[in-house]
Chain A
Amino acid sequence: MGFLDIDNATKSYGSVEVLHKVDISVQEGEFLVLVGPSGCGKSTLLNMIAGLEDITSGEIRIKDQVMNGVHPSNRNIAMVFQSYALYPNMTVGQNITFGLEMHGVPKPEREKAMTEVANLLQIEQLLDRKPGQLSGGQRQRVAMGRALVREPDVFLFDEPLSNLDAKLRVDMRTEIKKLHQNLGTTIVYVTHDQIEAMTLSSRIAVMNGGYVQQLGTPQEIYDTPANIFVATFMGSPAMNVVPAKVAVLNGRPHAEVALHDGSVAQLPFSQDNLSAWDGREILLGIRPETITDMDGADRKSSNIASMTNRIVVTEPAGSDTFVSMTLGGQDVIARMRSDAEVAPGQDFPFAVNMEKAVAFDPESEMRITP
């Protein structure tokens, strides 16, 4: 039994099922991120936890209490919205204490709680202003203050950073993470931004089409994606997925991939179980940062393969240089150090860290596991 249990939760609108048997158990103090493209059902799931949408079948429990049919205000949760949803006609102070007022908390206690939260978030000087007079970042803080003051069991965040500009977003991200570390609260956080998901979470649920595609720690999700959707959704630039053929050479499975001129590169796998796929087509997944020049290859890796391929385009991005090439008939991106000496049209010797390579079944698109 977890702290927050989502047990076989399903959601339908009429005859259309938009969320299929979701099963997630969140421990106390955990930071769970629901991530996926728009329309994947992540916000619906969050609203179901909040009680803003009812549950068609299944159960949601907080601290072992069944929450189905319980009014949102009686679930002891708090939510931070994408638009912040600050009441425009109330001051910041009134916004923060409105929930306490509705729950009949006497005024002196409300004031005390407000001061504490304002101190914590450093918004004391804003308490008498109206939301319209605040900047995006300040509104964000006030919205979090409104959630914090309730001392809820579970915090729900609905894409809280998506309305901020790029720099502020990074700052607020760090701030949220700090807050979580200091207060040890249980958080469910919805985002479509995979970087937010990776940086903030203790666990990630990657969602698509109303299904949880994979649930795991950021590292698990990144290194051993359950399927091609998770592999290409998480990570930027996305994982390269190219058609390849398995061939067992000297007792070891290799991936045979077509280079730009039609000749074949043979890249040895680290996973022996792939020998069972000898002679069959697979999809080979290689993350851009595992294709480098020889000097940039991961020293800790025990399996660096090499291949010479022609460079099509180079894109210097300051900290890295992205290099694109044709592999297996597709565009493939490599992420090199910025000082790598590369030029378009050049035939370049690449190092491929095959320890990190993954293979997918082209039929089911699932990762081929030992």
Chain B
Amino acid sequence: MAASADADFKTRLQNWIPKLVLSPSLAMMLVFVYGFILFSVYLSFTDSRILPSFGWVGWENYDKLWRLSHWETSLINMGIFASLYIVICTCIGLGLAIFLDQKIRGEGLLRPIYLYPMALSFIVTGTAWKWFLDPGIGLENVMHTWGWTSFEFDWIKNRDYAIYTVVLAAVWQTSGFVMAMFLAGLRGIDNEILRAAQMDGASNWNLYRRIIIPQLRPAFLSAFVILSHLAIKTFDLVIALTGGGPGRATELPATFMYSYTFTRNQMGIGAASATIMLMTIAAIMIPYLYAELREKR
């Protein structure tokens, strides 16, 4: 209802109150999100070290950043981590969802078991897996005392394999959640279509491959968006599980930014790395959100 010039008091009030109610959230968002983003992006072009400073240095921080081997390591790790994490979570999630959808007795018991890791802090997850995978006291040690003395599993201490333990813990934490998304999708499929396909003589395998999985497209899309954004933001898990080590072997962009900004006092470079992270997420999220919001109109 747009305000007419001759509107009575109650009508005019009703035109203003909604905007007034929205304004605190709006103001907070504009300052704390978009204002801060601009500030950080600006800092990435300055000579800030321990504290923000405003000497303009152009692209220098980005130049330095791309020449840092730590950054390169963190990007390579991100590539390995994100692709494995997304693919494995999706496969496990979809598989479990399909299996759980077969009128399973005890579904009510299994589902919460699959889902509960999502309720935990990454710090807790990291702690549990850190000691379980520790060769000194964890799995390897247990196997040795059980008599399998040649058993070796020291990935978490191994520069080349430590990143895979991060994948393992992250998959453990989120795959159940992905399962729930796919399960919701499966339950939403019209049974009559399945009946019709069976009448047409489709086998179970074909039913899934040709009819059901194609209909789960929206679930795949949401899973991809959520998982990729979680992957890019992964920070606490690495801190708790490996501390970025051994050495710098499990450094990710998020931990890189944190250490360069707060412990190495290279705020300009930290801001540059944060800007790159933001751009990556924006490239995934903006088209997705745009499509979602257009649809909902």
Question: What residues make up the interface of A, taking CB atoms closer than 8 Å to B?
Answer: 51-55, 68-71, 73-74
B4 x A68 contact (CB < 8 A): yes
Interface string of B1-26 (1 = CB under 8 A from A): 11011111011001000000000000
- Nearest neighbor of A55 in chain B, beta-carbon distance: B4
Which residues of the partner chain B approach A74 to less than 8 Å between Cβ atoms?
Answer: 8, 10
CB–CB B1/A73 < 8 A: no
- Least CB distance, B4 to chain A, in whole angstroms: 4
Q: Within 8 Å CB of B10, what residues of A?
A: 71, 73-74
B: which residues have CB within 8 A of A? 1-2, 4-8, 10-11, 14
Chain B residues with CB under 8 Å of A69's CB are 4-8, 11
Q: Which residues of A contact B14 (CB under 8 A)?
A: 71
Contact partners of A53 in chain B: CB under 8 A: 1
A-B residue pairs, 6 tightest by C-beta:
A69-B7, A71-B10, A69-B4, A69-B6, A71-B11, A70-B8
8 Å CB contact of A70 from B2, B5, B11: B11
List the B residue with the shortest CB-CB distance to A52: B1
Contacts of A55 in B (CB 8 A): 4
* Assembled-state Cα–Cα distance A70/B7 (Å): 6
Complex alpha-carbon distance, A69 and B4, angstroms: 6
Given the complex, which residues of B lie within 8 Å of A51, measured CB to CB? 11
- CB of B263 to closest CB in A, whole Å: 54
**Chain B residues near A52 (CB, 8 Å)?**
1
Cβ of A178 to closest chain B Cβ, rounded Å: 35
| Nearest CB of B to A76, in Å | 13
User: How far apart are B8's CB and chain A's nearest CB, in angstroms?
Assistant: 5
Per DSSP, are chain A's interface residues mostly helix, strand or loop, or mixed? loop
Cα distance A55–B1 when bound, in Å?
10
Q: List 25 A-B contacts (CB under 8 A).
A: A51-B11, A52-B1, A53-B1, A54-B1, A54-B2, A54-B4, A55-B4, A68-B4, A68-B6, A69-B4, A69-B5, A69-B6, A69-B7, A69-B8, A69-B11, A70-B7, A70-B8, A70-B11, A71-B8, A71-B10, A71-B11, A71-B14, A73-B10, A74-B8, A74-B10
Q: How far is the CA of A74 from the CA of B4 in the complex (A)?
A: 16
- A158→B114 CA distance, assembly (Å): 49
Q: Measured between alpha carbons, how far is A246 from B201 in the docked complex, in Å?
A: 62
Besides the known contacts A71-B8, A71-B11, 8 further A-B residue pairs in the complex with CB atoms under 8 A apart: A51-B11, A55-B4, A69-B5, A69-B6, A69-B7, A69-B11, A71-B14, A73-B10
Smallest CB–CB gap between B70 and chain A, Å? 54
Kindly list chain A residues whose C-beta atoms are within 8 Å of the C-beta of B7. Answer: 69-70
Query: Across the two chains, which residue of chain A brings its CB closest to B13?
Result: A71
Q: Within 8 Å CB of B8, what residues of A? A: 69-71, 74
Provide the residues of chain B in CB contact with A71, threshold 8 Å: 8, 10-11, 14
Q: Quick one: closest A residue to B7, CB to CB?
A: A69
Query: CB-nearest residue of chain B relative to A73?
Result: B10
Contacts of B1 in A (CB 8 A): 52-54
| Chain A residue contacts of B2, Cβ below 8 A | 54
User: Considering the chains assembled together, what is the distance between the CA atoms of A69 and B3 in angstroms?
Assistant: 8
B11 — which chain A residues lie within 8 A by C-beta? 51, 69-71
Nearest CB to that of B15 among chain A residues?
A54
Closest residue on chain B to residue A53 by CB atoms? B1
- Complex-state Cα separation, A73 to B11, whole angstroms: 10
How many angstroms between the C-alpha atoms of A53 and B7 in the bound complex?
12
Minimum CB–CB distance for B5 against chain A, Å: 8
Q: What CA separation (Å) do A52 and B14 show in the bound complex?
A: 12
Chain B: minimal CB distance from A320 (Å): 37
Nearest chain B CB to A48 CB, angstrom units = 11
Return the chain A residue nearest B1 by Cβ. A54
A-side contacts of B6, CB under 8 Å: 68-69
A71: nearest chain-B partner, CB-CB: B10
A71 vs B4: C-alpha distance when bound (angstroms): 11
